[in-house]
């Protein structure tokens, strides 16, 4: 005789028990062996949870369970990272206000996250778009500003005209354009989300002066018990702040194959950054049209 295993029934039953008995709520006043099992919170950028998020949360939750079995008091918080471009773009797409959409998404996301049956500490959940939370990120920004570590500056940035957002270099992927042999060589930088060609835009924006800590960050990497791959990535990232915009004046140069007649250019601009300690990478170049 075969008996059918009723997932829905069994899982619901035990999840109710865990909730009632606060199985995954650590007693913060009495934690002899604390273990903070933090994972990146999902951002509500669609109707429901992305399966890639579920994959990550499952891995982290398994680790949390191992730590519990080893006698640790595991704190595994959950929340929603809904302050930012992904959630805003989703709200724009469906024609809703990001603030009111957040309340709708919240309900669905928490239902789905709870259904996973992971050991989340629900009493401590937080949303990054809640004023009680972001008042602290604002407070941190003010402290940085007061100490000259936050400043405004005009700088060329990677801009996706479709997402209407600035992209980090890592979010710009190189894609070959065209299908003919002749065109095959031309790779253009496109947005990793929507594949729209990325443009360079001069934009006034806020910066944190992380360069003030570059030396300390680099030095302290040696003391970390991280894999060499991750350390190298961190080194490159820290070193990335050393970039330069080089401008070459152009005399008597015109592009002749334009349909609108020859285009005179006055300047070649090359933006390059230090990718690693011993290599330079040109991330963008452009020809400036001569102004009449």
- Which residues contribute to the site for Zn ion (CB under 5 A)? 160, 162-163, 191, 193-194, 196
Beta strand pairing call for 34-36 and 73-75:
parallel
- Report, in Å, the least distance between residue 171 CB and Zn ion: 9
- Report, in Å, the least distance between residue 173 CB and Zn ion: 11
- Report, in Å, the least distance between residue 55 CB and Zn ion: 24
- Report, in Å, the least distance between residue 284 CB and Zn ion: 17
Phi first, then psi: give them for residue 222, nearest 5 degrees.
Answer: -65, -25
Of the two residues 78 and 191, which places its CB atom closer to Zn ion in the complex? 191
Of the two residues 194 and 245, which places its CB atom closer to Zn ion in the complex? 194
- Measured between alpha carbons, how far is 64 from 51 in angstroms, rounded to an integer? 20
Contact predicate 273/240, CB 8 Å: yes
Of the two residues 162 and 236, which places its CB atom closer to Zn ion in the complex? 162
Of the two residues 161 and 178, which places its CB atom closer to Zn ion in the complex? 161
Q: What is the number of the residue whose Cβ is closest to Zn ion?
A: 191
- Report, in Å, the least distance between residue 84 CB and Zn ion: 14
Q: Exposed (0-12), middle (13-18) or buried (19+): which is 103, by Cβ within 10 Å? A: exposed
Of the two residues 201 and 247, which places its CB atom closer to Zn ion in the complex? 201
- Report, in Å, the least distance between residue 191 CB and Zn ion: 3
Of the two residues 37 and 165, which places its CB atom closer to Zn ion in the complex? 165
Q: Quickly tell me which residue has 């594949």 as its tokens.
A: 195
Please tell me whether residue 261 adopts helix, strand or coil conformation: coil
258, containing H or E segment: none
- Report, in Å, the least distance between residue 185 CB and Zn ion: 24
- Report, in Å, the least distance between residue 259 CB and Zn ion: 28
Which segments of the chain does DSSP mark as H helices, in order?
7-21, 51-69, 85-93, 98-115, 131-146, 214-220, 228-239
Q: CA geometry: angle at 271 spanning 268 and 275, to 5°?
A: 150
DSSP 47: S
Of the two residues 121 and 191, which places its CB atom closer to Zn ion in the complex? 191
In the structure encoding, which two tokens stand for residue 176, read together? Answer: 């070959």
Phi first, then psi: give them for residue 183, nearest 5 degrees.
Answer: -85, -15
Q: What is the secondary structure of 168-232 as a DSSP string?
A: -GGGEEEEE--SSTTTTT-EEEEETTT-PBPEEEEEEEEEE-GGGGHHHHHHHGGGS---HHHHH
Q: Which residues contact 67 (CB under 8 A, 6 or more apart)?
A: 35, 37, 74
Of the two residues 201 and 288, which places its CB atom closer to Zn ion in the complex? 201
């Amino acid at each position: 005789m075969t008996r059918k295993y009723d997932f829905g029934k069994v899982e619901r039953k035990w999840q109710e028990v865990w909730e009632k008995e606060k199985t995954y709520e650590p007693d913060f006043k009495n934690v002899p062996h604390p273990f903070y099992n933090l994972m990146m919170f999902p951002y509500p950028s669609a109707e429901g949870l992305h399966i890639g998020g579920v994959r990550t949360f499952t891995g982290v939750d398994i680790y949390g369970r191992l730590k519990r079995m080893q006698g640790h008091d595991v704190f595994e918080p959950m929340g929603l990272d809904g302050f930012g471009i992904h959630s805003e773009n989703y709200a724009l797409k469906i024609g809703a206000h990001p603030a009111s959409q957040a309340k709708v998404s919240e309900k669905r996301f928490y239902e789905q996250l709870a259904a996973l049956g992971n050991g989340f500490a629900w009493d401590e959940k937080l949303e990054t778009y809640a004023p009680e939370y972001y008042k602290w990120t604002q407070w941190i920004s003010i402290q940085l500003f007061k100490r000259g570590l936050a400043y405004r500056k005009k700088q060329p940035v990677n801009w996706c005209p479709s997402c209407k957002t600035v992209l980090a270099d890592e979010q710009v992927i190189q894609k070959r354009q065209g299908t003919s042999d002749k065109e095959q060589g031309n790779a253009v930088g496109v947005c990793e989300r929507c594949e729209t060609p990325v443009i360079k835009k001069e934009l006034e924006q806020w910066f944190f002066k992380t360069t003030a800590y570059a030396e300390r960050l680099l030095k302290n990497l040696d003391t970390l018990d991280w894999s060499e791959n991750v350390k190298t990535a961190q080194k490159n990232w820290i070193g990335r702040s050393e970039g330069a915009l080089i401008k070459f004046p152009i005399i008597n140069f015109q592009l002749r194959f334009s349909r609108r007649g020859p285009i005179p250019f006055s300047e070649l601009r090359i933006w390059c950054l230090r990718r690693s300690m011993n290599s330079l990478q040109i991330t963008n170049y452009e020809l400036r049209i001569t102004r009449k």
